[in-house]
Structure 1
Amino acid sequence: MKILFIGGTGTISAGITRELIKNPKIELYLINRGSRSEEFADKVTFIKGDINKEAEIAKKIEGLQFDVVADFIGYLPEHIERDYRLFKGKTKQFMYISSASAYQKPLNDYRITEATPVSNPYWEYSRNKIACEDYLIKLYRNEGFPVTIIRPSHTYDERSVPVGVRGEKGSWQVIKRILEGKPVIIHGDGTSLWTMTHACDFAKGFIGLMGNFRAIGETIHITSDETLTWNQIYQCIANALGVELHAYHVASEFLAAVSKYDFIGGLIGDKANSVVFDNSKLKRLVPDFVATKHFEEGIKETIDYVLTHEECQKEDQAFDAWCNYVIEVLEEAKNTLANKKQCTQLM
């Protein structure tokens, strides 16, 4: 089977690439600009270049035919329009990685199936993904373009610790706060439900859908069946670090209102909502799919990796100061109101 990935070395795609290169029957091509290429050197065929330079890429793939083409980095409709021009008539299956954040917000039902409506007025990223999906479905219906749309939810690998509230430089500063015994902001009261999926489990479902004729024209989400509260997620992280967690709960609406960070999209339009995914459709299409990496195990591996790789430890002093300030302001408000209550009682 001849496969082409646009991307192929990111959080979601690297795990799939690792599995595919173990199979001698797979001929894997990656289009990217050389990011993390050393890991897969001599194991895949690199087409080095910027996918946005369409004419250049068109020349490099001239004469090639693929069983599967997958785009992991397409975020805007113009990206998908470009893909169509490049790969029309050159692939038996085009797989587009969308996002489970596209599902309806606010939710009518926390149990999500592929039949759940897509609508997210809070997050432009999600609306763009929906627009990409709409374009591809029209191509499938009107021209028979062999599309399969994949919706991952919160997927993590060994390089990234998944958290709900973080700054622009990633999650390391949150980990640092936990290690230093500082209070760590958790959105809401920490009891909303969430699903964490390890990249190795996502890879199992994705590979099962590759070359699967029953997946053509379908939209499928790939997630773990394990559901956790955010309090449990942060506790697992603290346990993996071997320290006590000092949780500080802050309403998601408050965070979105006062923060310079994108908490309207990332929280109100995504992580603040309770979600439980029904993977029945995936399991019908890929009967042997089972997500086996429980979060407690997966996050321990991630923490071990991050603690031993300095490139994963990007400090974010601005975010750290912001957390301190938010907590300080809320504690002052709490004390002020408590004192006012006492004065009222004495009157």
Structure 2
Amino acid sequence: MKKLAVLTSGGDSPGMNAAIRAVVRKSIFEGYEVYGVYQGFQGLITDNIEKLELGDVGDIIQRGGTKLFSARCPEFIDAGVRKNAIENLSRRGIDSLVVIGGDGSYRGAERLDAEGIMTVGVPGTIDNDINGTDFTIGFDTALNTIVDAVDKIRDTATSHERTFIIEVMGRDAGDLALWAGVAGGAETILIPEDVSDVKAVAERIEAGMNRGKKHSIIIVAEGVMSAGECGRELRKYINVDTRESVLGHMQRGGKPTGSDRVLASRLGAFAVDLLKDGVSGCAVGIENNRLTETSFDEVFAEDHQIDRVLYKLSQELSI
């Protein structure tokens, strides 16, 4: 019987459990024996690997986080460490692996593929910063978490006639900030992909105040600056009452949206299909609602690009 393993690595994202469930059930449907690797690449090293049955992934599609847990494992870059991990897989007869995670997880997956373990990556990160896919698992849920927070903060911003600066996650990508800003009607969106001119932001807020506007919402991506830094910079140019909110890790938790559950199910099952057909060394994704595969080399070839049309629209609508 063919044997396949699945692990989650890096930061958790809502929908990872749905992806695990899809990998396990699709594998069993296709006649594979499937194993779960606990604590990511660290679990490969420590041999924290267990066989999974259908019931082991029951009642998890609606849960945030990851049933298999996750851990950072910088030592996996060492060839000797990876050799130990490969031996742990080979001893069980496992020659195929699905890695659910982001950019760093993909790099570990690429190394394993080059060393004889057929590997496919599934994009699991709230940051939406992976090439080869329009959306990553967890992005939609995190986006909705942020929008819900922005809606609540706007209520108090209106009541107290204040400018609120909301810091969101995303690492070096501005997708969460951009999409949340458009959905939440933010007056200003600061993203890493564009030069942040706080003086221009101050001028825009002042112009709004002059025409009677009582409050403003600024969304700043963590890759630009912190909310506190943004507030201090803003007050250099304008006398305005500000409050800062850092949403933090609440963005990574919670029940996955229906959209993330469906996306995770499709991508997890597709990864198994590729391995069954002998395809590896790539990541799955979705583009224009079509499942795609992209080699790891192509994924790493250039930085993820922001939707410039959406960014332009955000500026046009925030006048």
TM range (shorter): 0.3 to 0.5
Q: TM-score, normalised by structure 1?
A: 0.35
Instruction: Using CA pairs under 8 Å that are at least 6 residues apart, name the structure with larger relative contact order, 1 or 2.
Output: 2
Q: TM-score, normalised by structure 2?
A: 0.37
